[in-house]
Amino acid sequence: MRLDKLLANKAFGSRKEVHQLIKSGRVSINGVQATKKDQSISIDVDEVMVDGVRVSMQQMYYVKLHKPAGYVTAVEDKIHPVVMDLLPPEYIKMGVFPVGRLDKDTEGLLLLTNDGVWGHSIINGHKSVPKVYELNYEGILSKEGLARIKEGILLGDGTQCKPATIELLEPGKAKIIIEEGKYHQVKRMISAAGGTVTYLKRLSIGTITLKDIETISTFIPLTEEEIGAFKK
Ligand code: URA
């Protein structure tokens, strides 16, 4: 990869700004000051530094983020803040995108990657991946409504959901496990059963949980094991 492309990908500025950076002698390759913007860099071998700080050569990104309410699950939005605002700028440059979506007012576990095959295998994969949500609701979830959620509830627009697991935790609070990701699915399931969701949080996707990102807006890389679980 060309030196200027690497530095632009890693969010050191536009191509022009990166050329300036190299020209001003602030970039080194294996300890030697870089002079050529088109110098070829080997990702696996070379050590590139800017102002003495090592540039990460990471090319593939897999992270879990504790999404706060108020952020749109998108790379860009003209009006609202987006989840990518919570990650370093290099993530956008490297093509990282959210895997599936949480509504703007939903918080909790969101996966992001720049591995399209991996991301799409989670969204469209044939394997069913259980997603656990915690919710607060208003209204009454009748015995009959709960039974319909468990059997596979029919939504107002005629969409048929697969059977789900629901557990009432205390008045107005429930935990639900679904294996699909239809538009506003949990809210629409609860609504079809007589309630209105007032708070929604995703706790897990398969074996990936909010462990180590309990604080809202924090993120960490996924482990090899977590990544591998969706590659099988
Ligand atoms: N179901 C919803 O209704 N909203 C979400 O954000 C996720 C699941």
Q: How far is the CA of 162 from the centre of ligand 1 (A)?
A: 15
CB of 124 within 8 A of CB of 218?
Answer: no
Q: How far is the CA of 67 from the centre of ligand 1 (A)?
A: 13
> Is pLDDT at 161 greater than 70 in this prediction?
yes
> Is pLDDT at 105 greater than 80 in this prediction?
yes
Distance between CA 135 and CA 201 in Å, rounded?
A: 6
| Mean pLDDT of the 94-105 span | 96
Q: How far is the CA of 184 from the centre of ligand 1 (A)?
A: 4
> Which neighbouring-strand residues pair with 202?
108, 133
Under the banding of pLDDT at 50, 70 and 90, the label for residue 123 is confident
pLDDT in tens, 108-121: 999 999 999 999 88
- 4 flagged as catalytic: no
pTM, two decimal places: 0.92
Query: Does an H or E element contain 110, and which?
Result: strand 107-113
**Residue 221 CA, distance from chain mean position:** 11
Catalytic residue among 103, 115, 157, 212: 103
pLDDT in tens, 60-76: 999 999 999 999 999 99
Nearest CA to ligand 1 atom 7: 102
> Is pLDDT at 232 greater than 70 in this prediction?
no
Under the banding of pLDDT at 50, 70 and 90, the label for residue 126 is low
> Is pLDDT at 122 greater than 80 in this prediction?
yes
